Amino acid sequence: MMKNIIFVLLLFKSLFCTIILAKNVLLIVADDGGFETQVYGNPVCKTPHLDKLASKSTIFKNAFTSVSSCSPSRSSILTGLPQHQNGMYGLHQDIHHFNSFDEVKSLSKLMKMKNIYSGIIGKKHVGPENVYPFDFAYTEETNSINQVGRNITKIKDLVHEFFSTLNHSQPFFLYVAFHDPHRCGHTNPEYGEFCEKFGNGEEGMGIIPDWKPEHYKPEDVIVPYFIPDTPTARADIAAQYTTLSRLDQGIGLVLKELKEFNHDNDTLVIYTSDNGIPFPSGRTNLYDPGMAEPFLMHLPQQTYSQVSEEMVSLLDIVPTILEWFNVKYPDYKLNGMPVQLSGKSLLQSTSLKKSEAVFASHNLHEVTMYYPIRVVRTNSYKLIHNLNFKMPFPIDQDFFISPTFQDLLNRTVEKKETHWYKNLTDYYYRPEWELFDLEKDSNERYNVVNNAAYHSIRTTLQKMLLDWQISTNDPWICSPSGVLENKGRFKENPTCLPLYNGV
């Protein structure tokens, strides 16, 4: 009898602790962040606060974005739906003007429906407002993006204000979206290529009181395999490191506020980035440099670090947070089709629910950059479908004006050594299908799609990709060789009809 009582008490204690701990969420997202941290093997760039967070987190080594563009990725992070399903096909702001469908049930909308206090500080970059409502919001929509996204003292104060306005009996979801280490040479060149001078105390730069700038020598930086190893690129990376250090110090301030308000032991903390870094093969690409992301997940009272090799997607964030809050995803339709999340909760990352593959879907970045791509990636292989392969791969304004790309252009025109693993012709003009054997070719240099030895692999991956496109209602499912007919007499039997266009 006594044993049964003790068992019941222990079970009650376990359930009680689970209920208390599973209370709040802090989601931290970097802007074009990468793997320039000690956590992921870079000993040069100083990120002590991320290192400390990693020391008590699960470190995911195989995390991937579902789209390599800012607004589309943020919409996917906040909805759990790929961009082709939620409607955010390209950038949200200015002339680009893309929006998610009005009927989409975003994470912040679901939080509001469940009386979970929601806040966003920093870069929002998604719309419309009725799809992405927040109770507490300080974003580029009403403030300077550099102030709410890079001024870490301002961000700290806003986090403090968020917690001060919070009803302590109410659970919260706080989304802190830094603007670092995004480039700013296109918009604010006076602050440097990565806004590395912004707030550094020099004349005309302003001052961020809580920031202690870290400076790096170009000769000391680590040049990833996909970036030209030139003096210009090294200087570019050094500037990037400085803003990454500011991001890190900002994260430290946010976590300090979390602790001071006694929420460090009842809050799930997730850190990641929206897409790859703004260098060749990075952002707007779905090669691994544009698709692979840092990903840390800290559970309340977790005191140890563990490494997961499991393949995860940023589409897994919504299912994870919903499970944390014990919120059921609603039944509804988009464009006449039932909506189901294709991601999985990472709270069960040690269970048998492991992903054999992750998927990605990209259509545009800027409105002029139409280059739809679909991808399926396993641990061993990656299949890329370039739908607009007869056109050159587009370059965005922000990256085009960067020192690294300008140097690459000039060296190519002047027929000088580029010190790059590719050439511009191959970078611009890509085949319709690319298949990479990642175990033999982790840098994705050798396309084996036409190699007979990989025929069965190609067929299997194409089937997996098609099934995912069907399940996520991809309007591009018949491109580029056909047209999807799914209304009228085709309503009950949607069909891809051939264009006979030679593709």
What are the residues facing 139 on neighbouring strands? 122
What residues contact 306, with CB distance under 8 A and at least 6 apart? 58, 59
Q: Is 184 a catalytic residue?
A: no
Task: Using alpha carbons, select from 242, 247, 223, 225 the residue that is nearest to residue 233.
Answer: 223
* pLDDT surpassing 90 at residue 2: no
The two tokens of residue 402 are 């960067």
Interval 125-135: pLDDT, tens? 999 999 999 99
Q: Which amino acid is at 257?
A: E
What residues contact 203, with CB distance under 8 A and at least 6 apart? none
Task: Using alpha carbons, select from 120, 254, 118 the residue that is nearest to residue 173.
Answer: 118
What are the residues facing 373 on neighbouring strands? 362, 386
Task: For residue 387, give the DSSP letter.
Answer: T
3-state secondary structure 50-95: HHHHHCCCEEEEEEECCCCCHHHHHHHHHHCCCHHHHCCCCCCCCC
The helix/strand/coil state of 171 is coil
The two tokens of residue 396 are 């965005």
Q: Of 168-172, 206-210, 283-287, 331-335, which gets the smallest average pLDDT? A: 168-172
Interval 308-330: pLDDT, tens? 999 999 999 999 999 999 999 99
Interval 273-285: pLDDT, tens? 999 999 999 999 9
- 322 with 369: CB under 8 angstroms? no
Interval 428-457: pLDDT, tens? 999 999 999 999 999 999 999 999 999 999
Alpha-carbon gap, residue 388 to 443, rounded angstroms: 23
> What is the model's pLDDT at position 169?
85
Alpha-carbon gap, residue 19 to 29, rounded angstroms: 26
* pLDDT surpassing 60 at residue 108: yes
Report the DSSP pairing between strands 295-298 and 267-273. antiparallel
Provide DSSP, 200-263. Answer: BSSTTT-B-TT-------GGGS---TTS--SHHHHHHHHHHHHHHHHHHHHHHHHHHHHHHTT-
- 449 with 459: CB under 8 angstroms? no
The helix/strand/coil state of 45 is coil
Task: For residue 411, give the DSSP letter.
Answer: H
Interval 66-88: pLDDT, tens? 999 999 999 999 999 999 999 99
> Can you tell me the mean pLDDT for 156-164?
98
Provide DSSP, 449-494. Answer: TT-GGGHHHHHHHHHHHHHHHHHTT-TTTTTTTEEEE-SGGGTTS-
Q: Is the dihedral of CA 244, 245, 249, 252 positive or negative?
A: positive
Q: What is the pTM of this model?
A: 0.94
Could you tell me the pLDDT band of residue 354, with boundaries at 50, 70 and 90?
low
How buried is 482 (Cβ within 10 angstroms: 0-12 exposed, 13-18 middle, 19+ buried)?
A: middle
> What is the model's pLDDT at position 168?
81
The two tokens of residue 108 are 């912040």
* pLDDT surpassing 50 at residue 6: no
Alpha-carbon gap, residue 188 to 181, rounded angstroms: 14
Alpha-carbon gap, residue 147 to 2, rounded angstroms: 61
Interval 256-275: pLDDT, tens? 999 999 999 999 999 999 99
The two tokens of residue 231 are 């003096």
Alpha-carbon gap, residue 155 to 188, rounded angstroms: 20
Could you tell me the pLDDT band of residue 288, with boundaries at 50, 70 and 90?
very high
User: Could you give the residue ranges of the DSSP H alpha helices within 266-390?
Assistant: 288-291, 317-324
Catalytic site residue from 45, 70, 184, 478: 70
Strand positions, DSSP E, 123-177: 136-139, 172-177
Interval 177-221: pLDDT, tens? 999 999 999 999 999 999 999 999 999 999 999 999 999 999 999
Task: Using alpha carbons, select from 336, 298, 288 the residue that is nearest to residue 436.
Answer: 288
Indicate the average pLDDT of the chain: 94
Which residue is listed with tokens 């996204």? 149
